[in-house]
Amino acid sequence: MDIIKELGEIALGSRLKRLSDRFMQDVSKIYKSQKISFEPRWFALTNYLYNYGGSSILDLASSIGFSHPAVVQFVNQMEKEKLVEEFDDGNDRRKRMVRLTEKGKSLFESLQPLLKEIEDSVKEIIQATGYDLLHVIESVENALDEKDIYNRTLKRTKQRHMDAVEILRYSPVLKEQFKRLNYEWLKKYFKVEKEDEKILSDPEKEIIDKGGEVFFARLENEIVGTCAAIKINDDTYELAKMAVTEKAQGRQIGKKLALAVIGFAYSKKASKVTLETNRRLQAAVNLYESLGFKSVPMDKESKYERTTFKMKLEL
Q: Which domains does the chain have, with CATH numbers?
A: 36-146 (1.10.10.10), 160-314 (3.40.630.30)
pLDDT digits (tens, 9 = 90+) for 197-238: 999 999 999 999 999 999 999 999 999 999 999 999 999 999
Strands 55-56 and 97-100: antiparallel
* Contact (Cβ atoms closer than 8 angstroms) between residue 241 and residue 229: no
With a pLDDT cut of 90, the percent of the chain lying above it is 92
User: 169: part of which helix (H) or strand (E)?
Assistant: strand 166-169
Q: Is the pLDDT of residue 93 over 90?
A: no
Residue range 227-272, pLDDT digits in tens: 999 999 999 999 999 999 999 999 999 999 999 999 999 999 999 9
Distance CA 301, CA 309 (A): 10
Give the three-state DSSP class for 117: helix
Q: pLDDT tier at 96 (50, 70, 90 boundaries)?
A: confident
Q: Residue 243's closest CA among 183, 197, 203?
A: 183
The per-residue pLDDT for range 129-155, each reduced to its tens digit, is 999 999 999 999 999 999 999 999 999
Kindly give the pairing relationship between strand 84-87 and strand 222-233.
unpaired
* Mean pLDDT, all residues of the chain: 94
CA distance between the termini of the chain? 57
Whether the pLDDT of residue 13 is over 80: the answer is yes
The CA angle 274-276-279, to the nearest 5 degrees, is: 130
37 neighbors 81 (Cβ within 8 angstroms):
yes
- Predicted confidence band of residue 300 (pLDDT cuts 50, 70, 90): confident
Q: Which of 310, 245, 251, 302 is nearest to 275 (CA)?
A: 310
For residue 307, pLDDT beyond 80: no
Is 305 a residue whose pLDDT tops 90? Answer: no
Nearest to 262 by CA among 294, 224, 223, 288: 288
* HEC profile of 43-72: HHHHHHHHHHCCEEHHHHHHHHCCCHHHHH
Residue 301 confidence class, pLDDT cut points 50, 70, 90:
confident
Predicted local confidence at residue 254, as pLDDT: 95
